[in-house]
């Protein structure tokens, strides 16, 4: 399988190179040149498979040029055995034909573990084969950093540097990053905000000379194709558990950077019967505004009770725009260059096509809290604020009550106790047993000034081969 850039100019790459690259050299994102397609008969034959085996069936076509089947199977077995539920992604019923898929049974209690546990193993496998070492540099406002650190902690060929805004992430989130011990793990608290962190990462990818030309930077954010790939699997898993592929399913997806829901769109293109995909956003609703009025326009960042969805632009939306434009990279390049300067629209028939593919809704903090409270009162089931947004959007946008509606449960409620408290519930979400001592564990991080050369100097000095 070859991968091509959404901006049409960078060279096509194989899986290994795509794994190790951030943005394409033309500024675009890599997507598969073509998708595998599975017949209903084939999908039906996967009923009852353990999660790791299903993951193999769905993902192998994407990696087969780079990894022998047995090695990939072994990697998947290891990846999904660290989850704390036998079903890996269990379904919980909220109401007749209404479900939450719990994607927070991994080590850091958010769905990002599904992809990052695999990504760490993929990186180490490919780097071992190539006898190469990479430095991962990433910025986080919370969930991505901890999942990436957990995913890479045992990698021998990777040093990981995660920048977070000093004193601006929640204590649970900070401790999930800073209490992981390992020589190759480096947490940097930047005296600035998340945008400052992200800017430094971008600048460093643009000019990597501070590493002395000896190594390269790799990306762990959702511009990395391997992350999207790993997220396709659980759409198949949920469908098969509820009578698919012989009935279609609806999914509601709490969305920030459009990675998770893009994976659902791909599952559908690969043959899974999905009749509805709901984009659920918080007040940072650029996607909902686009879907409602064909205007793609950046607004100011709003801080909400669902911080993992606090974004101004959705990086993976570019991958959808590429398809909406008949895979015309030049058109996407022009559109996104214009979008950086001001509001843009797309041709009406393309926008109408997007509206056929997706419904959307934006949910404010008050409605998020109301939903947490309603669902708790109905079922004694506690939603985290991101999942609550998904449930609310599912209920608002639902088209056919005969079709199972599945909301992706993206985080464990104990990660976001503030939102639970604000919803007026007196119940306190408990951390699962394996994390119960989080607040006693020793932390390790370095506070640095909001200054890119200071951060780069720190990395140059501390990566293993330096």
Ligand X SMILES: *Cc1c(COP(=O)(O)O)cnc(C)c1O
Which of 74, 112, 333, 352 does the annotation list as catalytic?
Answer: 112
Number of Cβ within a 10 Å radius of residue 268? 18
Told to check if 284 binds ligand X by CB under 6 A, we report no
Bridge partners (DSSP) of residue 138 are 162
Q: Report the nearest approach of ligand X to the CB of residue 255 (Å).
A: 4
Q: Answer yes or no: are the C-beta atoms of 185 and 160 closer than 8 Å.
A: yes
112 is catalytic: yes
Q: Is 404 in the site for ligand X (CB under 6 A)?
A: no
Between 184 and 255, CB nearer to ligand X: 255
Q: Work out whether 320 is an interface residue with ligand X (CB under 6 A).
A: no
Sole residue written with tokens 């909902």: 288
Is 409 near ligand X (CB under 6 A)?
Answer: no
Q: In 413-447, which positions are buried (b, 16+ CB within 10 angstroms) versus exposed (e)?
A: bbbbbebbebbebeeebebeeebeeeeeeeeebee
Structure token digits, residue 326? 């008949």
Smallest separation (angstroms) from ligand X to the CB of 358: 13
**Residue 104 C-beta: closest distance to ligand X, Å:** 8
Cβ 278 vs Cβ 393: under 8 Å: yes
Closest alpha carbon to 310 in 255, 262, 261, 372? 255
- Mapping DSSP to helix (H, G, I), strand (E, B) and coil, where does residue 67 land? coil
* Closer by beta carbon to ligand X, 72 or else 290: 290
Q: Does 413 bind ligand X (CB under 6 A)?
A: no
Q: Which residue is nearest to ligand X (CB)?
A: 259
Mark 206-245 with x for binding to ligand X (rule: CB under 6 A) and - for no binding: ----------------x-----------------------
Q: Going along 236-386, which residue ranges are E strands?
A: 249-254, 274-281, 359-362
Helix 348-357 with 286-293: angle, nearest 10 deg: 120
For residue 44, the SS3 value is helix
Number of residues that bind ligand X (CB under 6 A): 16
79 is a contact residue toward ligand X (CB under 6 A): no
Binding mask 248-277 for ligand X (x = CB under 6 A): ------xxxxxxx-----------------
Of the candidates 55, 76, 226, 309, which one interacts with ligand X according to CB under 6 A? 309
Q: How many C-beta atoms lie closer than 10 Å to residue 50's C-beta?
A: 15
Place of tokens 């490919």: 126
Closer residue to ligand X, CB minimum distance, 15 or 317: 317
Extract the runs of DSSP E, i.e. beta strands, from 416-455.
Answer: 446-448
Contact status: 102 vs ligand X (CB under 6 A)? no
Is residue 150 within the footprint of ligand X (CB under 6 A)?
Answer: no
Where on the chain is the footprint of ligand X (CB under 6 A)? 110, 112, 143, 222, 254-260, 308-309, 386, 410-411
Which residues are designated catalytic? 112
């Amino acid at each position: 399988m070859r991968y091509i850039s959404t901006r049409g100019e960078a060279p096509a790459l194989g899986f290994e190179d795509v794994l190790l690259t951030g943005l394409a050299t033309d500024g675009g994102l890599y997507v598969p040149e073509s998708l595998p397609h599975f017949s209903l008969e084939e999908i039906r034959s996967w009923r009852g498979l353990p999660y790791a085996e299903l993951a193999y069936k769905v993902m192998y076509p994407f990696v087969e040029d780079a990894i022998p089947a047995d090695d990939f199977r072994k990697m998947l077995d290891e990846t999904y055995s660290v989850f704390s539920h036998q079903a890996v992604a269990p379904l919980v019923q909220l109401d007749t034909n209404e479900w939450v898929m719990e994607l927070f049974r991994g080590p850091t209690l958010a769905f990002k573990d599904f992809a990052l546990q695999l990504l760490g193993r993929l990186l180490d496998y490919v780097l071992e084969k190539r006898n190469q070492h990479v430095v991962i540099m990433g910025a986080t406002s919370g969930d991505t950093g901890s999942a990436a650190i957990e995913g890479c902690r045992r990698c021998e060929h990777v040093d990981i540097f995660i920048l977070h805004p000093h004193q601006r992430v929640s204590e649970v989130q900070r401790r999930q990053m800073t209490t992981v011990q390992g020589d190759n793990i480096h947490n940097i608290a930047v005296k600035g905000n998340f945008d400052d962190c992200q800017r430094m990462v971008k600048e460093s990818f643009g000019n990597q000379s501070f590493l002395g030309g000896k190594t390269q930077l790799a990306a762990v954010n959702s511009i990395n194709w391997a992350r999207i790939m790993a997220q396709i699997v659980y759409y198949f898993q949920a469908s098969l558990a509820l009578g698919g592929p012989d009935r279609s399913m609806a999914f509601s997806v709490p969305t920030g950077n459009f990675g998770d829901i893009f994976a659902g769109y791909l599952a559908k293109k690969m043959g899974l019967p999905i009749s509805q995909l709901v984009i659920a956003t918080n007040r940072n609703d650029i996607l909902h505004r686009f879907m409602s009025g064909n205007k793609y326009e950046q607004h100011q960042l709003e801080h909400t009770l669902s911080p993992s969805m606090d974004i101004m632009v959705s990086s993976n939306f570019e991958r959808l725009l590429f398809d909406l434009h008949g895979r015309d990279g030049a058109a996407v390049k022009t559109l996104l260059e214009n979008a950086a300067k001001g509001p843009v629209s797309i041709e009406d028939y393309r926008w109408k096509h997007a509206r056929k593919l997706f419904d959307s809704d934006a949910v404010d903090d008050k409605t998020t809290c109301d939903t947490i409270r309603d669902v708790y009162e109905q079922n004694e089931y506690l939603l985290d604020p991101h999942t609550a947004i998904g449930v609310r959007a599912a209920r608002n946008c639902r088209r056919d009550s005969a079709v199972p509606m599945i909301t992706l449960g993206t985080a464990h409620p104990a990660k976001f106790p503030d939102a639970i408290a604000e919803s007026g519930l007196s119940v306190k979400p408990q951390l699962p047993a394996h994390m119960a001592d989080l607040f006693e564990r020793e932390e390790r991080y370095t506070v640095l000034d909001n200054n890119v050369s200071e951060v780069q100097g720190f990395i140059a000095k501390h990566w293993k081969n330096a």
